[in-house]
Amino acid sequence: MGAAAAGFTPMLSNARAKQPYSSNAVTALKLGIAGYTFSQSTIPQAIAMMQRVNIKTFSLKDIQLPLNSTKEKIEEVVNTFTQAGISIYAVGVIYMKTQQDVDQAFEYAKMVGVEMIVGSPVYDLLPYAEGKVKQYNIRLAIHNHGPEDPVYPTPGDVYEHIRKLDSRMGLCLDIGHTQRDNISPADAFAKYHDRIMDMHIKDVTKAAKEGKSLELGRGVIDIPALVKVLYKKGYAGYCSFEHEIDAKDPLPGLAECVGYFKGVCNTINTNTHTTSISIE
């Protein structure tokens, strides 16, 4: 799959052949998959695709497990992923318009057993949500949704609303929607990195509202620039692929995205640190 990163392959193969692993390697970037990728897939199908691309961490969406699921159903679904060697690290995106929505989201996250909710509470609920963050010790990463979103269109809109709140409230940086607001994802990460807890990785056709999602490397996002700043700032969260096209058959596009991203990471890592790949 690394061959999808055009122009990188010869350099990568030489680096692997000549350079042993070094203790100077940068911290590994952690890869995951966002649940919306499998919006039209069953859980067994989703698991099979994750195994095919060798990614073992997942952000669970209510598509896979409704928010009003019983404790028994939640345990069943979580165990299905666990037995397949896949860990669930977050839930969401969960939209919160009432206090009851916030209560449900945090209780759901607690029963799933995760330490983070990717969510979108309306402004008036932020103080209430902050109280739940403190009560449950579960982080809340607010997702930016681009030009159409009247609440959190840009990463800056999220940051301005949470910067004075508990440090466990932060951002899920969706790089596709960020670029559609004509903001460089690399610049956004550099500016807000201290509160970025999660990332949704995709590419888009243009830096405008009408930009559409597509496979990494085919659009306008400067993925190498983003990866460089992730390494530079020591990003410790997940880079979760959110493949939004070909919902009935996402595997080919997802595999291309994973391969391209790994190829970029490997090349930047070997060029900068003369080490082999540093991706989990």
Q: What sign for the dihedral angle of Cα 119, 31, 235, 112?
A: positive
Strand partners of residue 238: 30, 198
Question: What DSSP state is assigned to residue 163?
Answer: T
Structural tokens at position 69: 């699921």
- For the chain, the structural domain boundaries read 29-248
Closest to 61 (Cα-Cα) out of 95, 107, 103: 95
CATH classification number, 29-248, choose in 1.10.1660.10, 3.30.420.10, 3.40.50.10300, 3.20.20.150:
3.20.20.150
Backbone angles phi, psi at 96, to 5 degrees: -130, 110
Q: What is the pTM of this model?
A: 0.88
Per-residue model confidence (pLDDT) at position 184: 98
Cα 105 to Cα 51, 92, 269: the distances in Å are 28, 9, 38
Contact of 91 with 114, CB cutoff 8 Å: yes
Per-residue model confidence (pLDDT) at position 270: 75
Q: Any residues with CB less than 8 A from the CB of 46 and at least 6 apart, and which?
A: 37, 38, 58, 64
Determine the residue type at 45.
Q
Count Cβ atoms below 10 Å from residue 70 Cβ, excluding itself: 10
Count Cβ atoms below 10 Å from residue 246 Cβ, excluding itself: 14
Question: What is the C-alpha separation between 262 and 276, in angstroms, rounded?
Answer: 12
What does the pLDDT profile of the chain (280 residues) look like in tens digits? 444 444 443 333 333 333 332 333 445 899 999 999 999 999 999 999 999 999 999 999 999 999 999 999 999 999 999 999 999 999 999 999 999 999 999 999 999 999 999 999 999 999 999 999 999 999 999 999 999 999 999 999 999 999 999 999 999 999 999 999 999 999 999 999 999 999 999 999 999 999 999 999 999 999 999 999 999 999 999 999 999 999 999 999 999 999 999 999 999 987 765 433 345 5
Cα 4 to Cα 163, 164, 181, 190: the distances in Å are 38, 42, 27, 26
Count Cβ atoms below 10 Å from residue 274 Cβ, excluding itself: 14
Q: Residue with structure tokens 């970037």?
A: 29
